[in-house]
Amino acid sequence: MKTVLGLDRISEFSESLKNLNIGLITNYSGVDSELNENIDIFLNENLKIKKIFAPEHGIFGIADGEAFEDSMHPFYNIPVISLYGEKRKPSKEDLDDIDILIFDIQDVGLRYYTYLYTLAYSLISASENNIKLIVLDRPNPLGEEVILGNRIPKEFSSFVGDYELPIRYGLSIGEFGKYFIKYKNVDVDYEVIEMKNYKTDTYFEDTGLFWNVPSPAIPSFDANICYSGGCFFEATNISEGRGTPKPFQYYGAPWINMEKLYKKLTKENIIDFSFRKRAFMPFYSKYTNQVCFGIEFIPNHKKADFIPVSLKLLKNIYDIHQDKFKFIKYADVERLDYLVGDSDVIKFLKNKINLEELLYNWNIQAGNFREYVSEIRIYK
């Protein structure tokens, strides 16, 4: 059966929301299962949206990492407050005329996605200003049965990784809110309007829903799968395919020896993915309008795990091109440690630790997280 979104159920709760000034935290992903926009739905229910709060990428899809200012919605004449500019959470002044906050944004199920932190920071603001926050729940595209990767330590906390989350944390956005409240011991009035026809073993392709593009660089479910490890490349001078038809599925640079890299990868034990040599030309981001030589990856099934594949790819490129390979700052990413959350990855690249040992340690941490969140799960 088709998954019923939290937004699909808003009419069940609309009576209690009438006569309240609503602060709606949303963006272009705020559509119901029939692709109707949440703002239209709210207005048709006679609900009053006083302000719209927008995360990274704004309400229409600004490029990653680009700050933006407050504005006025061009169609609804509602103030749009930026939560990705001078501030990352609603201020007291922003909330002076707000009675309730409602969060409705599609997440991707990965630690480095900033929408998580927009919700976390908004929960802090709600707590500080005695305002209730409701999440209209949405699916974790990667499902909830698999939890993978290390828990990021506090010393690497940033807007792309915090709260000791593993890389794939296996929670819906509503469940993440419950985790954050438990982890930080936040005193806040919090409610999740739950999905129906959704379980922990539901992946996006099982929901019966149209793919809801969460940000410009995640145009497909395959891109979402590959983003799970492909995000590491943001901290390097290797293109992760931004500005191409397949972001996070293409990896390369103008200086990569594509033939040599491909031959080395065929000797690796790469499972769950098909791959090929791929030359490509990004039209924005790294190496704009330059031919890059590299590899394209295609997930073979919905449960494919790209984390070990991305580490093998990273290691092989490093081995072949140590003279040209560089670590860089990108958007909110200060350095690789802040994305990976483990300084041992540098040791892995330099042959001071092997991949099996690295992943073994990560699996222990993922198991600890799974146990920690067992009591706050909504879906079984």
> For the segment 76-98, what is each residue's pLDDT rounded down to a tens digit?
999 999 999 989 999 999 999 99
Closest by CA to 56, choosing from 215, 268, 164, 211, is 215
Q: Where are the alpha helices (DSSP H) in 83-194?
A: 92-95, 115-128, 173-184
Question: Across residues 301-321, what is the average pLDDT?
Answer: 96
State the span(s) of the chain assigned CATH 3.40.50.12170. Answer: 7-212+371-376
Give, in degrees to the nearest 5, the angle at Cα 378 between 114 and 190.
Answer: 65
- In the chain, what's the furthest Cα-to-Cα distance? 65
* Side chain identity at residue 89, one-letter code: K
Judge residue 378's burial from the number of C-beta atoms within 10 Å of its C-beta, 0-12 exposed, 13-18 middle, 19 or more buried: middle
CATH (one of 3.40.50.720, 2.30.40.10, 3.40.50.12170, 3.40.50.10490) for 7-212+371-376? 3.40.50.12170
Question: Does 321 score more than 70 pLDDT?
Answer: yes
Q: Compute the half-sphere exposure of residue 195: CA atoms within 13 Å on the CB side of its CA.
A: 29
pTM of the model: 0.94
CATH architecture label of 221-341? Alpha-Beta Complex (3.90)
Least confident range from 44-53, 195-204, 270-279, 329-338: namely 329-338
Long-range contact pairs involving 346-351 (C-beta distance under 8 Å, separation at least 24): 348/311, 348/315, 349/314, 349/315, 349/318
Judge residue 351's burial from the number of C-beta atoms within 10 Å of its C-beta, 0-12 exposed, 13-18 middle, 19 or more buried: exposed
With pLDDT > 90 as the criterion, what percentage of the chain qualifies? 88
Question: Does 331 score more than 70 pLDDT?
Answer: no
3-state secondary structure of 139: coil
What is the rounded CA–CA span in Å between residue 309 and residue 296?
Answer: 12
* Side chain identity at residue 356, one-letter code: E
Structure tokens at 19: 């006569």
What is the rounded CA–CA span in Å between residue 353 and residue 334?
Answer: 23
Task: Provide the pLDDT for residue 31.
Answer: 97
Residue 199 phi, psi (nearest 5): -135, 175
Question: Across residues 289-299, what is the average pLDDT?
Answer: 98
Question: Does 280 score more than 70 pLDDT?
Answer: yes
Question: Does 123 score more than 90 pLDDT?
Answer: yes
Burial pattern 310-345, b for ≥16 Cβ within 10 A else e, equals bbbbbbbbbeebeeebeeeebebbebbbbbbbbebb
